Amino acid sequence: MHTGLEESNDGFKKLSAFYAERVRGGVGLIVTGGFSPNFRGRLHPLSAQFSSGRHARTHRVITDAVHTEGGKIALQLLHAGRYAMHPLAQSASAIKSPISKFAPREMSARQIRSTIRDFAHSAELAREAGYDGVELMGSEGYLINQFICQRTNCRYDEWGGSYEKRIRFPVEVVKAVREKVGHDFIIVFRLSMLDLVEQGSTLEEVVQLAKALEQAGVTIINTGIGWHEARIPTIATQVPRAAFAWVTEKLRGEVSVPLVAVNRINTPDVAEDILSSGQADMVSMARPLLADPEFVKKAEESRADDINTCIACNQACLDHVFKGKRASCLVNPQACYETELVVTPAVRSRKIAVIGGGMAGMSFATTAAERGFHVDLFERKGELGGQFNLARRIPGKEEFNETTRYFSRRVEQTGVNVHLGKEVSAEDLRDYDHIVVATGVKPRMPSIPGIDHPKVVDYMTFIRERKDPGNRVAIIGAGGIGVDVATMITEPEGQTLNDWLADWGIDNNIAHEGGLFPHPNFVAHRQVWLLQRRPGRVGKGPGKTTGWIHKRTLEKRGVEALGGVVYEKIDDQGLHIQLEGQRHILPADTVVVCAGQTSVTEMIPVLAEFGDKVHVIGGAEKAGELDAKRAIRQGIELAIV
Ligand code: NAP
Ligand code: SF4
């Protein structure tokens, strides 16, 4: 996957360290992030390109690092087509995409031929640079995919019209690449098997293309699911594990080259099920290898419990990349920072007390103990995990269990001394060289008249106790947690994978174009109002790549999202509000308060006498931007100083 290091200063050195660590961790074949075969194909004006001898020479540091560790690596060639965010964008036809503000120009037949030559030339240079193969990006709605589908190809020349003519471009690209690189070089083709957009391919067409690609000389066919403009979640945490392995399976027996399954494969068990049941020949993973570079090795050694599992939150990887920042990982901040966040053995022995066993506390404690410090971790509650113990109770966020499992395991393995159910006093802390306060947050209760009415409950109590809130629920606050609560109370019970696919209108026979049913049925289960004082968009939640999923989920479930609300009071009738100057009563049975948090800081004045031995991290330091990404990273950063 693209990491953002491809374009940054000194990025290749860091990228080499990133890949080398994954090879040591047992990865069989690495595929890089996308490099464009020419200038017009770049995703952004400054995106990475691979088309000259100079590029080949600069990539040597990467291929050498991978080969030194005994691995293999393929360069991904990606032409953005109409997804390019610049005025030189080109595509099969001049049809603007909804995700770029630049309309593409239609490619002339001459430009098509020269683009095919560019792909072949780049592949030849990749070989020169020491790569073991290339992956041709033929999915996710990029240029090759744009030629294949009617949605974006309205040509009537030899490159458009019938399906046969629309697939001519990918087939010619493969033939040209094969001719240049010879037969002992891997060509992976990322084939869009389920477009999830209108006027996408049907299964019959996908099979026809796969056969043509095999004939043209591909070595491996990788699966692509959904265009970037598709409005169906394909990798977010609410997507069930291995939700799309059935798509790859549909091509089994149709071609003889190996088929690779993708998307939401994040544990060895899930991968093993896919392989042993014959759904695919290989599995590919991107985010799980950010979360744990040793995933494969640990799986091989039957140490699945030691794996730091990707929870598919996208918060530090894709959300970063789409904002032009370097990717990392919420649960593993060392990802893509292998040369910067280095854990070294401690020079002097120190005794450290950590107060609070949430993510910040556990992240600090485990890293400090790994360095060789003596660490005592005090947690007032009976379990470790803090806010993650709430998050994991939200339907669709069950993956958060994995993070508490992993960090608890690390606590055991690194020898942190855990004291559960223990309120510490200054007296208990006198003997320590350092005291780390990671006491987290508590819900903010706004001063609305009637806030102490029995129908009002704070989100922590509500999520923990899971009492039936009745048929009408008002949620005060539409941040990440308000959205989570709205999702939780509108979630249909006992959803299977098929229910989930049906809920999003996915045709699991791929008989309809793009694998979409024309009109999916949406069902509302309970009346819910999601409220915020700020005018404007409500209910998107915090993530750039996941906000639209939350919004669409809540729309589908009939949640009424209201911005610009003034809260007046809460009484037996419900929640009284003003909206655009008009008074309304929302006849809520329950009012759930999700109005942010305040830091739990009671310990800080008690510890004043210890001066600069005291360090405050996570939500206890700053509740405003509380999030697990900052908390876990802060814990590591403090522990490695
Ligand atoms: P948040 O995102 O800051 O949202 C707080 C909400 O409460 C806002 O909608 C705010 O809107 C409202 N609010 C604030 N003060 C209020 C007051 N005095 N009276 C009434 N309403 C008030 O906080 P959060 O939802 O509690 O989430 C906490 C953190 O966890 C965030 O950093 C979030 O990113 C993270 N989180 C992430 C996810 C995820 O899926 N990635 C999920 C949950 C939480 P108005 O001020 O406009 O009313
Ligand atoms: Fe997975 Fe979240 Fe890490 Fe991305 S940031 S790799 S989605 S755990």
Which ligand 2 atom is nearest residue 316's CA? 5
Is the distance from the beta carbon of residue 625 to the nearest atom of ligand 1 less than 6 Å?
A: yes
Rounded to the nearest angstrom, the distance between the alpha carbon of 293 and the centre of ligand 2 is: 12
pLDDT of residue 520: 66
Is the distance from the beta carbon of residue 442 to the nearest atom of ligand 1 less than 6 Å?
A: no
Rounded to the nearest angstrom, the distance between the alpha carbon of 290 and the centre of ligand 2 is: 7
Q: Give Cα 302 distance to the centre of its chain.
A: 26
Report the relative pairing of strands 441-443 and 597-599 from DSSP bridges: antiparallel
- CA torsion sign for 457, 462, 468, 473 is positive
pLDDT of residue 523: 66
Residues of the chain with pLDDT under 70: 519-524, 540-542, 625-626
**Candidates 83, 142, 406, 567; catalytic one:** 142
pLDDT of residue 623: 87
Residue identified by tokens 């032009």 is 324
- CA torsion sign for 209, 210, 215, 216 is positive
Ligand nearest to the CA of 332: 2
419: left (phi over 0), alpha (psi -120 to 50) or beta: beta
Rounded to the nearest angstrom, the distance between the alpha carbon of 375 and the centre of ligand 2 is: 28
Q: Classify domain 456-595 at the CATH topology level.
A: FAD/NAD(P)-binding domain (3.50.50)
Which of 294, 346, 362 lies closest to 634 in space, CA to CA? Answer: 362
Q: In which residue ranges of the chain is CATH 3.20.20.70 found?
A: 11-322
pLDDT of residue 23: 98
Q: Encode pLDDT of 547-574 as tens digits.
A: 889 988 998 899 999 999 999 999 999 9
Cα 321 from Cα 613, distance rounded (Å): 37
pLDDT of residue 625: 56
pLDDT of residue 87: 97
Ligand nearest to the CA of 565: 1
Which of 489, 485, 467 lies closest to 476 in space, CA to CA? Answer: 485
Q: Are 14 and 339 in contact (CB under 8 A)?
A: yes
pLDDT of residue 547: 87
Whether 142 sits among the annotated catalytic residues: the reply is yes
**Residue 189: enclosing H or E segment and its boundaries?**
strand 186-194
Q: In which residue ranges of the chain is CATH 3.40.50.720 found?
A: 351-442+599-639
DSSP state letters, 369-387: HHHT-EEEEEESSSSS-TT
- Distances from the Cα of 475 to the Cα of 430, 562, 565, 587, angstroms: 44, 10, 12, 12
Residue identified by tokens 């700020």 is 534
Q: In which residue ranges of the chain is CATH 3.50.50.60 found?
A: 456-595
Is the distance from the beta carbon of residue 316 to the nearest atom of ligand 2 less than 6 Å?
A: yes
How would CATH label the architecture of 11-322? Alpha-Beta Barrel (3.20)
Rounded to the nearest angstrom, the distance between the alpha carbon of 491 and the centre of ligand 1 is: 21
pLDDT of residue 53: 97
DSSP state letters, 32-101: EEEEBSSSTT-SSTTS-B--SHHHHHHHHHHHHHHHHTT-EEEEEE---GGG-SSTT-EESS----TT-S
pLDDT of residue 521: 63
Q: Encode pLDDT of 320-348 as tens digits.
A: 998 889 999 999 999 999 999 999 999 99
Is the distance from the beta carbon of residue 153 to the nearest atom of ligand 1 less than 6 Å?
A: no
Which ligand 1 atom is nearest residue 625's CA? 32
Is the distance from the beta carbon of residue 558 to the nearest atom of ligand 1 less than 6 Å?
A: no
Is the distance from the beta carbon of residue 534 to the nearest atom of ligand 1 less than 6 Å?
A: yes
Ligand nearest to the CA of 628: 1
Rounded to the nearest angstrom, the distance between the alpha carbon of 310 and the centre of ligand 1 is: 24
Which ligand 2 atom is nearest residue 403's CA? 8
Q: Classify domain 351-442+599-639 at the CATH topology level.
A: Rossmann fold (3.40.50)
